[in-house]
Amino acid sequence: MMHLPPIPAWESLHPLVIHFPIVLLLLSPLFLLIGAALSPAKGLPYRYAGLLILLLGTVSLFVAAATGEAAGELAERGGGVDAVLTAHENLASETRLLFVGLSVILLGMIALPRILHRQETRLSSTFMPLAYLVFYSVGILYLVNTAHAGGRLVHEFGVHAEMPASDGATSATATEAQEPAESRTD
């Protein structure tokens, strides 16, 4: 009979949660793009969806960063790992800051017309979201670079999370590159 896998420790969660911000934050601009292409009224639900996905993605970035630091404490240092780990950590902090800013801006762009009881126009429903997406692309650049540094840690340096042992104990470890890389995730 199939069972649920054991619940991982906080230090082991990073590989599980890290995919949420990547997917959500890359998905959000697609909804904004569809919303911009439609009329102000028809595009509104897409802008709402884009905002909601962005907010969820930004929250998940915080969880990813916190679990990443916890996992990083177990990673053995020395050699090339140090520089890549530092880059990954710094990029993650910058990415988090950028998406907090992007979330505040989009929230303002969508909420302000409602608060001020102003009718949506092409300017607010199409041109401003398109201009916003140009700024958003900077966030994506940081996001993919953070993910790339994480990917290097896993696939180049063999830093990987160890999945729960048979007794239910869990751990996240960083081992030498030559060790087997079962359960590798970035």
Partner 1 sequence: MNHAESPIGNKIKMVLVACTLILFAAGARAATTLENMQAAYNGESNAHARYLAFAGKADSEGYGQVASLFRAAARAEEIHAGNHAAVIRKMGATPAAKIEAPVVKSTRENLEAAIKGETYERDHMYPDFLSQARKDHNLAAIKSLNFAKTAEAEHAKLYSAALTQLDHLKGSQAGTYFVCPKCGFTTQELSFAKCPSCFTPKEKFEKIS
Q: Which residues bind partner 1 (CB under 8 A)?
A: 9, 11, 69, 72-78, 82, 85-86, 89-90, 93, 162, 164-165, 167, 169-173, 175
The two counts, helices (H) then strands (E), for the chain are 6, 2
User: Smaller CB distance to partner 1: residue 124 or 171?
Assistant: 171
We find the least distance from the C-beta atom of residue 10 to partner 1, in angstroms, to be 9
DSSP per-residue string spanning 84-139? HHHHHHHHHHHHHHHHHHHHHHHHHHHHHHHHTTPPP-HIIIIIHHHHHHHHHHHH
User: Smaller CB distance to partner 1: residue 151 or 164?
Assistant: 164
We find the least distance from the C-beta atom of residue 183 to partner 1, in angstroms, to be 13
User: Smaller CB distance to partner 1: residue 78 or 119?
Assistant: 78
We find the least distance from the C-beta atom of residue 89 to partner 1, in angstroms, to be 7
DSSP per-residue string spanning 11-45? GG-HHHHTHHHHHHHHHHHHHHHHHHHS-HHHHHH
We find the least distance from the C-beta atom of residue 20 to partner 1, in angstroms, to be 21
Distance CA 90, CA 88 (A): 6
User: Smaller CB distance to partner 1: residue 167 or 182?
Assistant: 167
